[in-house]
Each structure stands twice: as structure tokens, then as C-alpha cells.
Structure 1
Amino acid sequence: MNGEGGQKLYVSTFKMHIKSPSRLGTIESRIPLKCPETESRLKSSEPPVFVRPLEDCCVDEGSDIVVRGVLKGSQPVKVMWLHNGEPAHFGKASFDGKEVKFIVRECLPEDAGAYTCLVENSAGKTSCSAAVCIRDFETKYGGLKFPVSSKSVVENGKSSPTCKDELQKFKGSSVSPDSQSPVSSPREVIPKKRANSATGPVLHFENPPQQLEVKVGQSAKLSCCFRGSAPVASCWIRNKEEVVDGPDLWIENTDQSTTLVIAKAEPQHTGRYTVVLKDRKSSAQHTLTLAVIERPEPPASCPVVSLVSESSLVLSWSGPCYDGGSAILGYVVEVKNQGCAEDWIELTDQCKSTSYRVCSGLQPKHEYCFRVRALNAAGVSEPSPVSPAVRMEQKDHKKPEDAILEYTCVKIDSTHKVTDHYILQEKLGMGKFGLVFKLTHKETGHVCAGKFYKGRRAAEREAARREIELMNHLHHPKLVQCLAAYDHKPEMVMVMEFIPGGELFERIVDDNFEHTELASVRYMQQILEGVAYIHQQKIVHLDLKPENIVCVDTDGHSIKIIDFGLASKIDDKTPLKVLHGTPEFVAPEVINYEPVYLATDMWSVGVICYILLSGESPFQGDSDAETLALVTSAQWEFDEESFSDITEEAKSFISSLLVKVPRRRMSCEEALAHPWIAAFDSGDLTSTKSLSKEKMKRFLARQKWKKAGKAMLALKRMTLLSKSDSCASPTSPGEVSLMSPEAQNALQSLERKMQGPPVFTQKLEDQTVTEGSSAHLSCHLTGYPDPEVVWLRGDEPLEESSGVQIEYDEDGCCTLILTQVGKQDSNVYTCRATNDHGETSCSAKLTVPE
């Protein structure tokens, strides 16, 4: 509809559906037929009447729509607004007892159409309608367009007489028995729209794949099947850009599937691919992961030898920096006797962890070197660096309490008490789970630590069982070991390896201990070795902090990681969200109640390293809430004074860990290969200057008075606030609002691709029918936006009536049905289809013989 200055004027086509009195008049239906009081009240009531009806209007897109009218009638009055015959769930309605008003702020083209006010009181009901046009200068809206003469003028938001005439015609197309609006001319015909069945197929994917794994050089076919209403347009997105066909990559589409084909997969093709679908009524998207796998890189470090005896030792190493795109399935351990001419000998190809105990084949006084290969679905890696030669001693000089631990899987003993086998000694500590006591085995005299769980509630018992189960997967020299477990209701006890050295940070502030950056590198390397093994088992610790890093003995530099009470298994298919941790060390994704990853632990490692080198916490606030706020914003910096003697490599190491986005943080393997850590092994790190301990002493003093419960409450409070903010968002839960910006851009592109003029894929055919029978004239129609159709008998448009029915099905089949035809119905019948892109028609002759 063209207005002044080339403006486009659009009005939505609509049908008004006024419910029958039996469905609207719920008040009357509940009143007894013979009730004197009721009859008297009804006689004295005045039915509602519009003394000033709603007025038609034309407004500019982006301005406000205001539809108002004035009522009189007995109170109370119930008011309901409809837009194009459907309840108006948008806009703001008001009624002050006299004036009814409906306001739509900053209107859009789709807000055009008919606005109807339904009014009801105890004495009766009425309605009134007004038509609203919206002038749009750029976009087209898929509604009915009316030609307007060149003399039409629109000024100050009000239509000229010509524009009002068009509005009157549009509004008159809705017929309501109770409406006070004028009725349209009998010559005017409403175009028929395609039916949208509520039970029709909603566009959706059918069992789409979540991931695909192929080897380098193989062909990759990412295929998704779907169901929807034709036509369906699709596109693929990778790295925020739409995938386009090329010689090595192309898209194959059918009516029910779309496939992205990569002729020869390379590692750079690894990543997430999103397919976006669009049909006439809705849209859908699905994301799947392609892994192009190759042989992994070699393990990042040479095997470290520990716990050497006459004929056995323990090897531990770091996993590869790159796993080849596929999970590491295990390791191949090889040995070479330095005193023989033999080549490398394979000890095992079934090692499932980054630690292995060699307990056979080694001879006293012989020297051996070791190396390791990583194994994934694509094959075996090149060997790791070779370990230094180790000489098997004639006798074991280790102290009894340092005897080699036998790694065994612990089963919970439900028939005995812990005191049946151990002597209970002094208390070592306490936590939210319960108490820790020192234990001595009655037969061997071996000293252990007993973690006594409260266990009175089912949830506490389940948490204890879960921790014990996880400990069975954590057999590594840098991790505390579980030796036994007891379940004697209500008491549950986990017997742990006793580590007498105390907390690492307590050791560092001791006046007899020298604290240097070189020593800090060694501590961090051991922490990373332990964390690497944890992550190798797909377990995330979730409570890494200085209190959980302890020294193996009172005079050495070996450490172990303890306390796996908050640890959890990571499942790639089911995101894990948690709400626990210590504010200063917890990662932003935990506070925001977002999925956690293995990288969540790496944030905590970065905080530990920052404190280890400076004695200060990077996120310490005046309160727990302030600390959590600093963590979520990832606001931190290197204090110039505290880091004046720290190398740039160390700062780079920390900076690569304290990154807000988890996927951008260094992995554990990458951290072990970082130049700062690597400098320790190579001997390139020469900084031996003693670091100040005063700030670390203050840090430890502050930690002692902190209450774990207080920190947990602050963490929960921050998360609940975050949740309430997200719940208050006005964004509707529709699918499009959940799509990424690139997916929404793809939808717009698909919308443009689907556009096209109407086309008859099946045309009308001439028919001869006998008088008094029914005639069915059918054709099939495509086009987008959905074409609207008008049927003509000769040159005259047909209206639906008792003898004329028009069906326009969801699949595009359009049928004219004439019941009980007579001789006067012999004529040429035409189906004319129109949409924004054009018009077409097809005709057939109907003959009714005499």
C-alpha cells in the first residue's frame, strides 16, 4: 500500500472469530433459570455500550499505537482485547470505568491489523473493532496490500479520506455479529490463506549425531535427518561463518536430510559444526563435533623414576600436549638395559594411566633407561624423551614408613569396624565432612590417617562412597592413596596414606626453609603431574588450594595432592554444574553456575602459583562477596612490588592460567611443557634469590580465621543472585532467542533463499459433471511467502457459502468444491495465486450438461 513519498503501508489480513454465546457467556450459564433475585438484578443492570467507538488509525513504524473508546454500562465490566481474532498477549490494556485503551509501544509491521475490544457484564456483552495500518519505509511484511491512489495523503499520523476508505474496506473484511464496525461490500473477497495445522509436522531433527570421529585423510560425512513442512532450506556454520561449497568440501541436500561432505579430512577440520534449518513455520538448529584424529604427540616429559628398590621402581610421566584429536587409550612403556647391546624392550602396552610400576625383569646393580609412547584410536606416538639412567641398588635404604605403596582397588568392608584392624590415635583435623584421626595398623604397625564421615544421612553416605570410588582411579605418586574403607552404620571411614610433612605453605614460611622461585617451579611441576593424572581419568578435583597440597616428609621437597571430597567425573555428554569451592580459588564458571571442565582446575592452579610466588591472593577482597565478584570479572594484575624479583616466564605461566574463558586456559599437559616448567628440567632456571615470606605469613594468618561455611554461603548467595537476574530477563524462551548471532544471521539468509513467486506444480483440469452432483477442482501450489488465492467464476470472484467451499491445505493443495451444481455453474474457473514476488493463475472449464 503506497502512501505519500513512496511510503509503504501494510495491514495484516485477519479473520475475526467471535465465540458463540454459550462459550463466551459463562456468567449467564451459571445463573438458575428461575431466581427472582437474579431476574430483578438483571432487569436493573445496563448492558455495556460503546458511546464512542474505537477509531481506525495509520502510524509510522517505531511509534506508539493507541486504540481507545468510551463505554457506558453497569459495573463490573470485563474487558478483553483481540488482535486479528486472537487474544493480544502484547501491549498494555487499561480501563478506568469509562475509557478502554490499548497501547503498543514502538510498533513493528507485524503489529498492524484489527484490534477488537470485547466487553461483558452481567447484563450482556458487545464488541468494537478498529483497523491499524503501519507505514514502513524499507521492509515488506507478508500481509494484504491495497492499492492507493496517487492522491492519498497521510499527515500527523492520521489517514486522509482515501486512506480511511482503504482501512474501512480492510476492517470490513472481518464480520462479527456483535461488532459495531461497518460490514464490507459483498463484492469484496478475502483471499484464502494456506491452513496451518496444529498437528502438522514441526520442523525437527531425527536422532542427529552428536559427534563424528575420522582419521586423517579419510572422507568425513556429517549428516543430519529431519522432518518438516516443505520447502526446507538449510545451511552449515563453522567458526561463525557459513560453509560454502568448494572442491574439497560441499553440501548435499535431500527433502529429509542435509550432509556436509569433507573429501579429505585434515586436523584443521576438527571442531563444532552447526546446521540451521528453516521451513515455512519454524526453524531448528543442531551442533555436532567433528574430530579428525591422528597419532598423538609423544608424552610431554621423560618418565620420572621413584621408589626404587632392588628389583622394582615406579615410573610417572606427563601425557602428550596434543592427543591427536582422540582420547588417549593408554601408554606403551619401554625399557633399555644400558649394559647390554639389546634394543628397546616393551614392558607393557596396556598401561591405562601416567604411572606404572615395574616389578619384574630388573636386576640389581644394572642401569636402565625408560621411555613411553602414547596410544589413541589412530595409533601409537613417537617415544617420549628418555629418562636418566637409574641403577638398581642392592638394598632398599628407604625408611619403613616410606615403603612402596601397593596400588590396589579398595572395596568397602561392611562386616568389620575400622577399630577391628586399626588403633585409633589422636585427631589430626576436621572438615565439613567429619573428622580425621591418626591410625596404626594392629598387625603391621603401619601409620595411616582415617577420614571419618558423619554418614547419618543418605546424601552423606553417598558422597563418601563416591569419593572412595574415585580414589580407586587415582593411583599416582603425587596423589594421596586410599588404603581401605569401612561401612559400619552410621559410621563410614576411609583409611588414607599418612603424609607427615604438613601443608606446603606452612613449610615455606618456616624460618629454617629457604623459599626461591626455583623451588616453586619444582612444587608446581609436581602439582601439575598429579593434576595431569587426575584429568587423564576424566576427573576434576574442584577444590585445589594450598591446604590440599601437603609435603611427603619434614625435610624433603616432594608433595602430594589430598582431599578429593568435591571431585567429580566429567561426562562429555552431560554438562556438570557445581556450587562449591573456596572463593579465592574457585573458577568463574563455578560462581556463574555454568558447566565445569578440566580447565576449571587449571584456574585454581594459577591462583596457587600466584600466591606461591608473591604471598598475595590475586582476587582477595574485603569480603567473600567482593572476592567472588573479582573472580567472575577476572580482574587481577601483577603487583609491581611483589613480582619485582619474579621472571617473565613465571608471569607468562600464570597469565596463561588465569583466563576467564575455560577453553583458552592452558591444559595441564601444556602447562607441563611451558618454558617456565621446562627450564627446571633443563637447568636453565638460575634464579635462586630468596623470596620474601612476610606476605605469605599474613595470607596464612587470614586463612585461619576464615570459616568454610561463611565462604559457602557467600558463593551460594552470588549464584542465586546470578540466577535471579537471568530469570528476570524479558527474553522469551523461543528457539531463535537461544541461537547464536551467526545462526540468526543464517536464518535471515535462509529466509531470503526460500523467497519465490507462486508456481502451480499441478494445474486445474477440465471437468464434466452431472447436474445435482458435486464438482471438485484441485491444483497444487508452491511459493514463499505462502501465496494467497482467489477463485473466480469467469471474471467474478467467488465467496465461500453453503454451496461454495474453498480448501487450501497445509501441503499446498488448493481445492474448490461446488455442491449440487446446476447448469448456471458451467463456466471457466480460475485459481489466482499472489505473494510478494508475483502472481500466477491457472484455469479449467467446468461443464454441466443439460
Structure 2
Amino acid sequence: MSRRRSESRSLSGLLSTSLQTQIRTDNFHNFYVLEPEELGRGRCGVVRKCIAKSTNQEYAAKCMKKRRRGQDCKAEILHEIAILELTKSSPHIINLHEVYETANEIILVLEYAAGGEIFNLCVSDLDERIGESDIARLIRQILEGLICLHENNIVHLDLKPQNILLSSLHPLGDVKIVDFGMSRKIESASELRHIMGTIDYLAPEILNYDPITTATDIWNIGIISYMLLTQESPFAGADKQETFLNISQINVDYSDETFASISQPAKDFIQKLLVKNPEERPTAEACLCHSWLQQGEFILLYSPEENSCPFLVPDHTARSSEEKNTKSICNGTCSDREDKENIPEDSSTVSKRFRFDDSLQHPQDFVTDFVC
């Protein structure tokens, strides 16, 4: 276990490129009014709404300590900024506006997504449930943002409903992916292995300490789709060990009762993604070719013109090639808004309900009893 602990604490996978964004040392409070109410709190910092004094424009200020647990974390914060710059061309990744640095903190001024988390759409007692066509639209947009990351060999590693925001709720707006604190760059010269993420969303390869690929994010797309459609968490158990066992055995409820009001194409889409072998999962581009996401008014923004975009049997060789020879079509700065880790007051929720957020922040939290 000591080897795993030391490797998990390493900084492998962090971007080391020079930043384009100017890091200002002016007094942040001279330019923004920071509201006291928290929008979100996570392992890396706290997010609050702020108002630009000069324009009255609303933003989200993500305030992150440069030192945590006695360790210098500035490189990780700069890594997050670099990812936001790299993906700025994607409309579905939150936009970075400005960066400020104080003696103890770095503050990211980010686009404000007024619609909040899509987690709120996963609650069964929600008065206004959204329809399947709306869910399909949101999944398409998440995948489009994910393509921008994957084309730059970046894996998010913490995709969950708390880290996907909406530009508005009424009417239902567009997706904004946030929180790149756990994201890593896949290097062609070395394997990436990390024990990190949120327990209910951990892919089997993370539990097994196998190499991480872009397929790890695809697993999370399957979970998010399941939750939006069923208002249940597919792998959540009564405790961590039961959850790990559910994940390692791919114990998912696909019963007619659970999917009574859900179309067969939607169910098929989830089943294609929640498979144990990462090599058998489709790429983000291939996911967009699934019949569930091509129905009705949807238009393929990333439809491949030079191949048939097979969904059923994704080519792992092609996936590896894409990860090693990336086309960086997303060269810009899109920003991450929130370290959303909203933990419910009652964290002892029952099996298949929501027990967010148990993030594996430290290797000692990792339990291997049920890893196959």
C-alpha cells in the first residue's frame, strides 16, 4: 500500500505549460463585491458569488488556499487554470474571467451559472421533472465538452452531477462543466494511475489501480445518465465497501420497474457505457452517434465525416492513438467555476440513494477489500 500512497501523492499528470492569463496581485475586493453565501465548497476551496463593481456583472469566485495540510498546492491550482485556458473554445466548459493572487490564496473569477447543479434534477421529489428529450440534450452537451478535454488528452476524473452546472434552470439552459482539481493529462510516455474521485462514481479501473484513460470519464457519463433518468444512484451502497462491491461486480438495476418510463434506446446507451473493461466503452465521439442522442431535433456538432463512428465496438487502438496524437482544436480558456462538493446534512443515506460527496482525497481512505 505504501507504493500506492506515494504515487497517489505525486504530481504526475499536471500541466506545466506557461499560462496566458495574467495573475493579478491587486486587491480583489477593490474590484468585486463578494457575497457571503457559499455556492459550493470542496476539497480545494470555497466558491461564492461576486459582483463586478464596474459592470454589476455576476461571477463566481473560487478561492483556493495555496497551502493545504502543510503542502504547497500552487502547482495544482495553476494546472487547473491551464486546463481552463486549453479548453476555452468549448461553450460547455465554464469560462475563466480573471485570476487574483493574495498571500494565502489564488482566486479564480469564473462564469456564473445561474441554473445551479444538475444534481438538483436527479432528486426524485423534484416538483418539475425534466423529460427524456431534455436529459438527452444535456448528455449531448456534456459529451461535447468532454470531447474538448479528451482531444487535449485531459481526463476530468470527477464528473458528477455536482460538477455539471446549468446556465439557467427556467428555461432549462446549457451545460457548464466545472471543477478540474482532480483532472490529469495523459502522457504518451507513461501510464497514469491515481486513486482519486468521488466514491459513488469511481470506475472499476480506479478501484483496481489500473491505468487511467479517457474511458474513465465515459463511465461517469453512464452514471450521470442513469441518475437523471431514474433519480437513483446505480452503485451507491449502504457503506463504502458495499459501493465498491457494486462497482467491481457492475451490479446495476436494469429492471423493468426501474426503467418503466424510460425508452429502450436510453437504457441501451447506459448499458454500453457501464461496462467493466475500459477498452469496450465507446469514445465520447462515438457516444454522440448513439440512436438515443440522435433523435428528434438534435444536430451532431461533432459528427465524424471521415469514419463511420461505430458505437457498438469502439476501437481501443484508435482510442490510444487519439490520446497520444491529440488534435488540440480547443485552444483557449474556458473556466472551471466550482469545487462543488455539497454534502447533504444527513450523510447516512440508504442504498441506491444519494450519499454525496465521499471523495477519495487521501490514499489512506481507499479500501481494497472488494477490489477484484
Determine if the TM-score, normalized by the shorter chain, exceeds 0.5: yes
Q: Which residue of 2 aligns with 1:523?
A: 138
Deviation at 1:410, TM superposition (A): 2.0
Q: Which residue of 2 aligns with 1:284?
A: none
- In the alignment, residue 64 of structure 2 is paired with which amino acid? Y
Q: Does 1:474 align with 2:87?
A: yes
Q: Which residue of 2 aligns with 1:272?
A: none
Q: Which residue of 2 aligns with 1:634?
A: 250
Work out which structure has the larger RCO, using CA pairs closer than 8 Å and 6 or more positions apart in sequence: 2
- Residues 660 and 715 of structure 1: is their aligned pair in 2 closer, same or farther, counting only changes over 3 Å? farther
- In the alignment, residue 552 of structure 1 is paired with which amino acid? S
Q: Does 1:425 align with 2:35?
A: yes
CA distance in 1, matches of 2:77, 2:268: 39
Q: Which residue of 1 aligns with 2:285?
A: 669
- In the alignment, residue 474 of structure 1 is paired with which amino acid? T
Q: Per the alignment, in what secondary structure is the counterpart of residue 199 of structure 2?
A: coil
**Mapped contact 1:430–1:436 kept (Cα < 8 A):** yes
Q: Per the alignment, in what secondary structure is the counterpart of residue 574 of structure 1?
A: coil
CA distance in 1, matches of 2:130, 2:364: 33
Q: Which residue of 1 aligns with 2:101?
A: 487
Q: Does 1:616 align with 2:202?
A: no
Q: Which residue of 2 aligns with 1:598?
A: 214
CA distance in 1, matches of 2:34, 2:253: 47
Deviation at 1:479, TM superposition (A): 0.9
From 116, 120, 131, the counterpart of 1:506: 120
Q: Which residue of 1 aligns with 2:358?
A: 708
Q: Which residue of 1 aligns with 2:366?
A: 717
Q: Deviations along 1:548-585, whole A, 9 cap, x unmatched? A: 12111131222211111111111122111111111111
Query: Where does 1:744-783 land on structure 2 (aligned, <5 Å)?
Result: none
Q: Which residue of 1 aligns with 2:5?
A: none
Q: Does 1:569 align with 2:218?
A: no
Q: Which residue of 2 aligns with 1:438?
A: 49
**Mapped contact 2:192–2:211 kept (Cα < 8 A):** yes
CA distance in 2, matches of 1:659, 1:704: 22
CA distance in 2, matches of 1:552, 1:448: 12
**Mapped contact 1:583–1:715 kept (Cα < 8 A):** no
Q: Which residue of 2 aligns with 1:540?
A: 155
Q: Per the alignment, in what secondary structure is the counterpart of residue 550 of structure 1?
A: strand
CA distance in 1, matches of 2:65, 2:85: 21
Query: Where does 1:395-406 land on structure 2 (aligned, <5 Å)?
Result: none
Q: Which residue of 2 aligns with 1:589?
A: 205
**Mapped contact 1:624–1:714 kept (Cα < 8 A):** no
- Any gaps of 5 or more consecutive residues in structure 1? 1-407, 684-696, 726-850
**Mapped contact 1:628–1:715 kept (Cα < 8 A):** no
Deviation at 1:706, TM superposition (A): 4.5
- Residues 665 and 584 of structure 1: is their aligned pair in 2 closer, same or farther, counting only changes over 3 Å? same
Deviation at 1:591, TM superposition (A): 1.3
- Residues 655 and 714 of structure 1: is their aligned pair in 2 closer, same or farther, counting only changes over 3 Å? farther
CA distance in 1, matches of 2:362, 2:108: 28
**Mapped contact 2:59–2:112 kept (Cα < 8 A):** yes
Deviation at 1:592, TM superposition (A): 1.3
Q: Which residue of 2 aligns with 1:465?
A: 78
Q: Which residue of 2 aligns with 1:382?
A: none
Structure that is richer in helix per residue: 2
- Residues 454 and 494 of structure 1: is their aligned pair in 2 closer, same or farther, counting only changes over 3 Å? same
Deviation at 1:466, TM superposition (A): 1.1
- Residues 528 and 700 of structure 1: is their aligned pair in 2 closer, same or farther, counting only changes over 3 Å? farther
Q: Deviations along 1:113-146, whole A, 9 cap, x unmatched? A: xxxxxxxxxxxxxxxxxxxxxxxxxxxxxxxxxx
CA distance in 1, matches of 2:46, 2:354: 17
- In the alignment, residue 144 of structure 2 is paired with which amino acid? E
- Residues 603 and 721 of structure 1: is their aligned pair in 2 closer, same or farther, counting only changes over 3 Å? closer
Runs ≥4 in structure 1, deviation > 6 angstroms?
A: none
Deviation at 1:542, TM superposition (A): 0.4
Q: Per the alignment, in what secondary structure is the counterpart of residue 34 of structure 2?
A: strand
Deviation at 1:480, TM superposition (A): 0.6
**Mapped contact 2:121–2:129 kept (Cα < 8 A):** no
Number of corresponding residues: 300
Query: Where does 1:230-379 land on structure 2 (aligned, <5 Å)?
Result: none
Q: Deviations along 1:7-53, whole A, 9 cap, x unmatched? A: xxxxxxxxxxxxxxxxxxxxxxxxxxxxxxxxxxxxxxxxxxxxxxx
- In the alignment, residue 358 of structure 2 is paired with which amino acid? A
CA distance in 2, matches of 1:707, 1:609: 18
- Residues 676 and 599 of structure 1: is their aligned pair in 2 closer, same or farther, counting only changes over 3 Å? same
Bigger Rg, structure 1 or 2: 1
Deviation at 1:652, TM superposition (A): 1.4
CA distance in 1, matches of 2:357, 2:264: 35
**Mapped contact 2:241–2:370 kept (Cα < 8 A):** no
Deviation at 1:534, TM superposition (A): 1.4
- Residues 680 and 544 of structure 1: is their aligned pair in 2 closer, same or farther, counting only changes over 3 Å? farther
Q: Which residue of 2 aligns with 1:451?
A: 62
Could you state the TM-score of these two structures normalised by the residue count of structure 2?
A: 0.74
Deviation at 1:713, TM superposition (A): 6.4
From 12, 15, 26, the counterpart of 1:416: 26
CA distance in 2, matches of 1:678, 1:436: 36
Could you state the TM-score of these two structures normalised by the residue count of structure 1?
A: 0.33
- Residues 511 and 592 of structure 1: is their aligned pair in 2 closer, same or farther, counting only changes over 3 Å? closer
**Mapped contact 1:441–1:447 kept (Cα < 8 A):** yes
**Mapped contact 2:80–2:181 kept (Cα < 8 A):** yes
CA distance in 1, matches of 2:201, 2:63: 26
- In the alignment, residue 657 of structure 1 is paired with which amino acid? L
Q: Per the alignment, in what secondary structure is the counterpart of residue 584 of structure 1?
A: helix
From 243, 265, 285, the counterpart of 1:649: 265
- In the alignment, residue 146 of structure 2 is paired with which amino acid? V
**Mapped contact 2:235–2:247 kept (Cα < 8 A):** yes
- In the alignment, residue 530 of structure 1 is paired with which amino acid? G
Structure that is richer in strand per residue: 1
- In the alignment, residue 423 of structure 1 is paired with which amino acid? V
CA distance in 2, matches of 1:706, 1:712: 14
Deviation at 1:605, TM superposition (A): 0.4
Q: Deviations along 1:257-280, whole A, 9 cap, x unmatched? A: xxxxxxxxxxxxxxxxxxxxxxxx
Q: Per the alignment, in what secondary structure is the counterpart of residue 513 of structure 1?
A: coil
Deviation at 1:514, TM superposition (A): 3.8
Sequence identity percentage: 32
- In the alignment, residue 503 of structure 1 is paired with which amino acid? E
**Mapped contact 1:577–1:594 kept (Cα < 8 A):** yes
- Residues 720 and 619 of structure 1: is their aligned pair in 2 closer, same or farther, counting only changes over 3 Å? closer
- Residues 676 and 659 of structure 1: is their aligned pair in 2 closer, same or farther, counting only changes over 3 Å? same
CA distance in 2, matches of 1:646, 1:676: 11
- In the alignment, residue 237 of structure 2 is paired with which amino acid? G
CA distance in 2, matches of 1:409, 1:436: 23
Q: Per the alignment, in what secondary structure is the counterpart of residue 295 of structure 2?
A: helix
